[in-house]
């Protein structure tokens, strides 16, 4: 299998210290594998189940310590890596993205430019079922939407699986961790859940690469990714900027145009 051969090659040549990909897990799931030997590389798999955005690992100190890492990458992973480079969280030379298509063909992307060129081949699109649910929600009345989200968020237990699985939530001291002042209530009561998810979506607006990992990670199946998708779409529609397009930072909420158009300010 091409990925396994490539991984063994990269490890043997010393070009990378580890290959971050996927292996078979419980119940037919796929889970991250840090292959650091030829034997481990032999366990790498690549298929439709390999959905997780592995870019969330490249900013973790335990992973950085391993050294230069190859990362099996879908488009969303590539976008996340570019965005992390733009935000100065990783250096181009620290990671070697291995772009993989559905057929399992591997392409090494050794520079930010190579990543940008690869991404330009495929337009960014959110999955059809997420689009359908977002459209259905937008067609509801405001009260219906409120009831929907209150119902979904009532299951939230504030485990932060969403935050922990997001490649862009790399802050060592998250705003939720701040207690002087305690901006957002920690408990998972209705207000605490509402405010946490609002804060997270706003902090991701213009930075979210729409991988959907937050929703996938949620142990109680809240479609939480729809909030960050919405914030990202709002930024893109209104300012033409978005996450993961370039290794050069273009963050909508720290830039502006004097003629930004809105219709609601009196």
Residue 266 in the binding site for other proteins (CB under 8 A): yes
Binding span for other proteins by CB under 8 A among 81-89, 93-101, 115-123, 135-143? 135-143
Residues whose CB falls within 8 Å of the CB of residue 49, separated by 6 or more in sequence, listed in order: 22, 28, 29, 30
C-alpha to C-alpha distance for 206 and 220, rounded to whole angstroms:
26
* Cis upstream peptide for 264 (omega within 30°): no
Q: How far is the CB of 81 from other proteins (least distance, A)?
A: 17
Cβ-based nearer residue to other proteins, 46 or 149 = 149
Residues of span 8-27 touching other proteins by CB under 8 A: 25-27
217 near other proteins (CB under 8 A) = yes
29 is an interface residue for other proteins by CB under 8 A = yes
Site for other proteins in 242-261 (CB under 8 A): 252-254, 256-258, 260
Distance CA 223, CA 23 (A): 26
Distance CA 110, CA 89 (A): 17
| Run of H or E including 23 | strand 18-24
- If binding is defined by CB under 8 A, does position 129 make contact with other proteins? no
123: helix, coil or strand? Answer: coil
Contact, 156 vs 193, CB < 8 A?
A: yes
DSSP state of 214: H
Q: 137-196: which residues touch other proteins (CB under 8 A)?
A: 137-138, 142-150, 154-155, 157-161, 163-165, 177, 182-195
Q: Which helix (H) or strand (E) holds 79?
A: helix 75-86
Please identify, using beta-carbon distances, which residue of 16 and 112 lies nearer to other proteins: 16
How many residues touch other proteins under the rule CB under 8 A: the total is 83
* Residue 77 binds other proteins, judged by CB under 8 A: no
| CB 151 to other proteins: min, Å | 10
Query: Smaller CB distance to other proteins: residue 62 or 103?
Result: 62
Query: At 72, is the secondary structure helix, strand, or coil?
Result: strand
Interacting residues with other proteins between 38 and 67 (CB under 8 A): 52, 56-57, 60-63
């Amino acid at each position: 299998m091409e990925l396994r051969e490539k991984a063994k090659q990269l490890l043997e040549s010393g070009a990378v210290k580890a290959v971050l990909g996927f292996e078979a897990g419980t119940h037919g799931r796929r889970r991250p594998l840090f292959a650091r030997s030829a034997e481990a590389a032999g366990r790498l798999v690549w298929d439709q189940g390999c959905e997780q955005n592995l870019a969330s690992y490249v900013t973790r100190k335990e992973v950085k310590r391993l050294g230069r890492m190859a990362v099996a990458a879908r488009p969303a992973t590539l976008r996340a890596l570019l965005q992390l480079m733009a935000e100065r969280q990783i250096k181009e030379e620290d990671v070697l993205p291995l772009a993989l298509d559905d057929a399992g063909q591997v392409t090494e992307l050794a520079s930010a430019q190579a990543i940008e060129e690869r991404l330009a081949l495929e337009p960014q699109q959110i999955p059809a079922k997420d689009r359908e649910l977002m459209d259905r929600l937008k067609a509801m009345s405001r009260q219906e939407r409120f009831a929907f989200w209150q119902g979904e968020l009532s299951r939230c237990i504030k485990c932060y699986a969403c935050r922990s699985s997001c490649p862009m939530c790399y802050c060592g001291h998250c705003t939720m961790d701040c207690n002087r002042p305690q901006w957002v209530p920690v408990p998972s009561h209705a207000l605490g859940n509402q405010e946490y998810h609002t804060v997270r979506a706003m902090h991701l607006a213009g930075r979210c690469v729409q991988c959907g990992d937050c929703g996938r990670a949620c142990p109680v199946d809240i479609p939480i990714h729809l909030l960050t998708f919405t914030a990202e779409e709002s930024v893109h529609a209104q300012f033409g900027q978005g996450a993961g397009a370039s290794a050069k930072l273009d963050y909508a909420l720290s830039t502006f145009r004097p003629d930004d158009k809105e219709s609601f300010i009196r």
